[in-house]
Amino acid sequence: MEFMSNLGGGLQVDRPSLFELIAQDKMREMLEPALRYVIAVYAQRYPRYLIRIVNRYEEFYAILMFFVERHYLREYGASFAENFYGLKRVRAPRVVKQHKVNIDEDSVAAAAAAVKTAPGSNKLRETDIRKSLLFLIGLPYIKCKLDEYYEKISGGEAARLFGDEFAQEEEDLTGQPFTVRSKAKAIKIFKMGYPYVNALYQLSILAHYIGYLYNKTAFYSPWLRIIGIEVKRMSAADYREILQKAKAPKRTSNSLMESIQNRVLGLLSGSLDFLKVLLPMSIFFFKFLEWWYQSDYYRKSSTAGDTAEVPPPERVKPHPEGLALPRAANVCPICLKTITNPTALSSGYVYCYPCAYKQVEDHGRCPVTLIGCKTDDLRKLYNDAGM
């Protein structure tokens, strides 16, 4: 991905395009609902083990991504999505003013801006990793909870579409304790002010997108500006360093506990690294299954082995005390007129919908076979079935 066209990147080879940065952001956003869907599906089969995870999914996802993102930040200097797109995080260079030594140098400094980059490595330190985790995990979690709370007190989508009648009614707190009234006032202020705060949140991101696109800033996100971290493309030297680190011999230990601990940590690290391979494979496999089940190949292969057709069930015979069947198949047994709006009961016989509904509602059975039926058993027919 490091050779992708750079929109607004100019001649800086290590500067990623805005397309790459937005793509990795969207990838991170899509992981959460995808994992939620998978867990919800399996929770229907194994509710005893997974129902608690479904009920506290936001906390579970935040803890899971904490370990994943921390591993990738420590091993590769990037988040999971950034590493997937061949990006890395580096500390933004500090600009330090030069000290003036004499009058001649002062005149030269006045003619040109005398700045230089502070020496030292720009790789992430442990403090940078903690700050990155705060904005990668903590900020989305807090915003998710605030969004949920705002939806709860504002009435959700129905209140925005149809008005305040779907929102929570404000209680009359006259005579209530001061703490109760203060809490209600705080909720009201939050309800009124949160949309503006959220708008500023989104506008700040959009402003940095535009500034980054036109090369006005090195930070495509306001949060990266706050913690002083830039996102760059990985170079060939970075890939060589990762390969050398993977091929480096592991430190052996004479202690059994340390040896077991190193093996467990190695397995966990390998499983987290395998996510880069598992994710694209899963997407490809899912798309292949989606295409296969919608293609003609699947229909032909599924019907090729069906040599013996399953016979239809035996027809329920009319009851001697029930209504007699008319000679013509398109005549209703109840009103003895041509069937209009044909409706079938669970017995398999077809009537006019008004006749069938009234019969089942009054007597709770099929008038021909006297089999018990309910109004929920009525099935409307949308073809004439040879009538």
Return the pLDDT at 197: 92
Q: Within the chain, which residues score under 50 in pLDDT?
A: 1-9, 97, 99-103, 105-120, 165-166, 385-387
In the chain, residues under CATH classification 3.30.40.10 are 319-387
Contacts by residues 185-194 (CB-CB < 8 Å, ≥ 24 positions apart) = 187/153, 190/149, 190/150, 190/153, 191/150, 191/153, 191/154, 194/146, 194/150
Confidence (pLDDT) at 191: 87
Q: Name 96's bridge partners.
A: 116
- pLDDT for the residue 340: 83
CB 96 within 8 A of CB 103: no
In the chain the first and final C-alpha atoms are separated, in Å, by 64
Does the pTM surpass 0.75? The reply is no
How confident is the model at residue 161, as a pLDDT? 55
Q: What angle, 0 to 180 degrees and rounded to 10, lies between the N-to-C axes of helices 178-213 and 18-45? A: 130
**pLDDT of 377:** 81
Question: Are the beta carbons of 276 and 83 closer than 8 angstroms?
Answer: yes
**8-state DSSP, 78:** S
What architecture does CATH give domain 319-387? Answer: 2-Layer Sandwich (3.30)
Phi, psi for residue 11 in degrees, rounded to 5: -95, 5
In this structure, which amino acid lies at residue 125?
Answer: R
